Amino acid sequence: MRVKVWDAPTRVFHWALVVLIPLSWWTAEQEMFDLHVPLGLVTLGLLLFRLMWGLVGGSTARFAAFVKGPRAAIGYLSGRVPPVLGHNPFGGWSVIAMLAALATQVGLGLFAGDEDGLESGPLAHLVSYDLAEEIADLHEDMFNVLLVLIALHVAAILFYAIVRRRNLVKPMITGSDDAPEGTPPMRQAPAWRFVLAAGAAAAATLWIAAGA
C-alpha cells in the first residue's frame, strides 16, 4: 500500500540543497562571490524555513517525529524497532547533524571577510577585520565537514538500496512510499502555516542580507 510520506515543502527543501551546495562550492572555487553570497543567503532562507517547518509542518517533517533518544536509534539498528514512516530514529540524528553543519557553514559565511573587504559576508562589518579573515578560513574548512556528512548520507542511501532493497530517493521525489496495510499517511499542515513560515524566513533573510 502506498501512503503519503513527505509533504511538498520538505521535498523542495531537500532538492534545493542538492542544487545549492555544489553551486555554492563551484562559485567559491571560481571566486564568483557576486553569485556565491546570494546563493548562501538563499540557503540561509531555506534553513530558517526548515527550522520553523520542523515545528509546525507536516507530521513527518516535524523534529518531534524523528528526533529520538539513543535507545530508539540503537533499537532501530538492531531490528527491535519496526520501520517507521519518514525518518527513522537513527536517520533523524543524521538530519540534525546535516542541518547543524549547514547552519554553521552559512553562519560563518555571513561574518567571513576577504583581504580587500569587497567580497565579504553581509555581517562581516560587525566583527574586526582580523576576525573576519579567521572566520573565512573556518568557513572554508567547515565545508570539508559538510562533505563528510554528505558522503555518509549517500552511503546510507546506497546501503538501503542494495542491502535492504528500499528506495529512499523515489519517495523524496514523489512524496509517497510503500507501507504496511493500515499505515496512516502523514498529516499535512495547513497552507497558512507554510505561508507564515516562508514569509518569516524570507523577512529574516532580507534583514540579515541588509547587514542586520
pLDDT digits (tens, 9 = 90+) for 145-169: 999 999 999 999 999 899 988 899 9
- Give the domains, in start order, of the chain with CATH numbers: 2-209 (1.20.950)
- Residues 177-186 pLDDT 10s: 887 777 788 9
CA distance 118 to 157: 41
Measured CA to CA, the distance from residue 210 to residue 189 in angstroms comes to 31
C-alpha cell at 123: 555581517
- Longest Cα–Cα distance of the chain, Å, equals 62
Amino acid at 1: M
Mean pLDDT lowest among 75-84, 179-188, 200-209: 75-84
* Residue 121 · residue 112 · CB < 8 Å: yes
Q: Would you state the pLDDT for residue 84?
A: 73
- Does residue 10 contact residue 58 with C-beta atoms inside 8 Å? yes
* Top-confidence range, 26-35, 42-51, 92-101: 42-51
pTM for this one? 0.92
Residue 81's pLDDT is 64
What is the identity of the amino acid at 190? P
| Beta strand pairing call for 2-4 and 176-178 | antiparallel
